[in-house]
Structure 1
Amino acid sequence: MNIKIFEFNPIAENTYVLYDETNECVIIDAGCFYPDEKQELLDFILDNNLVVKHLLNTHLHFDHVFGNKFILDQFHLKTKAHQADQFLLEGMPAQMRMFGFKDGEDAPEIGTYIKENDTIEFGNQKLLVLEVPGHSPGSVAFYSAEGNCAIVGDALFRGSIGRTDLAQGNQDQLLQAIRQKLFTLPAETVVYPGHGPKTTIAQEMRSNPFFGGR
């Protein structure tokens, strides 16, 4: 499985395109905000003859959904996301104003609700949905056992965890979810976060200060 990483929008959000030899792909957290960012994402898909099967969201904070309407318009796909984050779409203008953005386009409604242990299939790949609430109540990760990787959104970062001071965030819940859902994955699993560089489960278990690391 191939993973293309884009860093989009003023919040430096990571958007992922996962694809394989069949040319089927998924887009995770379409954060493209500026017209040139949207064009960059579209050009990559077209230049590589990719067929977009799913638009997935790890969670629905504004910086991760900027591009959802663009993907809907281009490929007629609505996002798959957890129902517990639905309220974030309804409060999108307030979210954006909090971070100094003017009101933008409304993000499309969730098309399909996903939950723990659901499987997302594309090409020859399968992604397992893991619920990791705390950064937001509906935060999920997408785990590929064959690809030895997890796309974790803003739950876990290299040397840190997601902030929990936003609406319905809960640090105790997030720490518990990371221990129970992510730290039980194989140690060599590569972690692709919503911001910043990739890491591994082993590295975070060993050195993340939120779990006693140094």
Structure 2
Amino acid sequence: MKWERIPLGPLQTNAYVLVHENGTCLIFDPGSEGEKLIKHILEKHWTPLAVLLTHAHFDHIGAVDDVRNQWSIPVYVHKKEQHWLTDPMKNGSLLFMGETIIVNEADVLLEEEKTLTIGDFSLQVLETPGHSPGSVSYYVEDAQAIVSGDVLFAGSIGRTDLPGGNYEQLLQSIHRQLLVLPEETVVLCGHGPETTIGAEMDTNPFLNGF
């Protein structure tokens, strides 16, 4: 199993494509530039099975419908942010971009921590609120990786000054849900480069002393 990071849009939000050896794949956070993302996947001859959102801020959802319509695949998001997809105020696009980003409602609402089985993929859904109320992280043990969205970055953490953000809650999410994973687990971040759980435990200034 492998993954590819594809930065998209003006904020260079990372879309991740997790690819099984059989050629099927999962798409995480297709934030913008749908044509670019679709072209890349088609050139690789991968077969997408689903779109999974870590949260519903505008820079993570902009290409959702492009991808969903291309392959007729379901979109997953946490129930707490189900209405953010259709509301440009809630997803922040109107506030920060001065434009409306609206996508159709999700096909599957995540309401609790669980294990998702999609094709040959098995993912553990971890609720990691703090950056936003419905932020989730997807732990893929077979790939020794976790898709963290904007919860944890290399040397930093997600911002908490947006509507529904909570600094203490974010730190609790990171410590209770992420830092308990094996230290070699690769963190696939919503922006910037990948890191590992071990590296963040050792060097992340926001986590030391909490």
Q: What's the TM-score, normalizing by structure 2?
A: 0.93
Following TM superposition, the consecutive aligned residue runs of length 4 or more in structure 1 with deviations greater than 4 angstroms are none
- The correspondence of residues 23-62 of structure 1 with structure 2, limited to 5 A, is 23-32=23-32, 37-62=33-58
Please give the alpha-carbon distance, in whole angstroms, between the structure 2 residues aligned to 1:111 and 1:122. Answer: 14
Check the 8 A contact 2:86/2:104 in 1, yes or no: no
User: Could you tell me how far apart the structure 2 residues matched to 1:100 and 1:58 are?
Assistant: 20
Superposed counterparts of 1:89-104, under 5 Å: 89-93=85-89, 95-104=92-101
CA RMSD of aligned residues (A): 1.6
Q: Structure 1 or 2: larger helix share?
A: 1
Task: Report the equivalent of 2:172.
Answer: 176
SS of structure 2 residue aligned to 1:209: coil
Q: Secondary structure at the match of 2:103?
A: coil
Residue in 2 that maps onto 1:14: 14
- Paired residue for 1:161, among 157, 171, 185? 157
Q: Secondary structure at the match of 1:63?
A: helix
Unaligned runs of 5+ in 1: none
Matched letter for residue 30 of structure 1: P
- The code of the aligned residue for 1:20 comes to H
Closer/same/farther in 2, CA of residues 131 and 169 from structure 1, 3 Å limit = same
Q: Deviations over 1:90-148 (max 9, x none)?
A: 432562122133224x2111110124432233453311111100101110011111211
Aligned to 2:125: 129
Give the corresponding residue for 1:64.
60
Report what 2:186 is aligned to. Answer: 190
1:150 corresponds to: 146
Q: Deviations over 1:143-185 (max 9, x none)?
A: 1112111010000001111011111111111100100000000
| Mean Cα deviation higher: 37-46 or 57-66 | 37-46
Report the residue type matching 2:15 in the other structure: T
Indicate yes or no: 2:80 matched with 1:84. Answer: yes
Separation in 2, partners of 1:29, 1:120: 17
Structure 1 match to 2:208: 212
Q: Is the 8 A contact 2:61 2:85 kept in 1?
A: no
* TM-score (norm. length: structure 1): 0.91
CA deviation profile, 1:50-98 (whole Å, cap 9, x unmatched):
1111110000000000001111221122310100112422432562122
Distance in 2 (alpha carbons) for counterparts of 1:133 and 1:93: 19
Q: CA deviation at 1:7?
A: 0.5
**Aligned partners of 1:199 and 1:120: how far apart in 2?**
24
1:107 paired with 2:119, answer: no
Question: Distance in 2 between the 1:43 and 1:10 partners?
Answer: 19
Give, in whole Å, the separation in 2 of the partners of 1:59 and 1:30: 11
Moved more, 80-89 or 58-67: 80-89
Identity of aligned residues (%): 40
Deviation of 1:201 (Å): 0.5
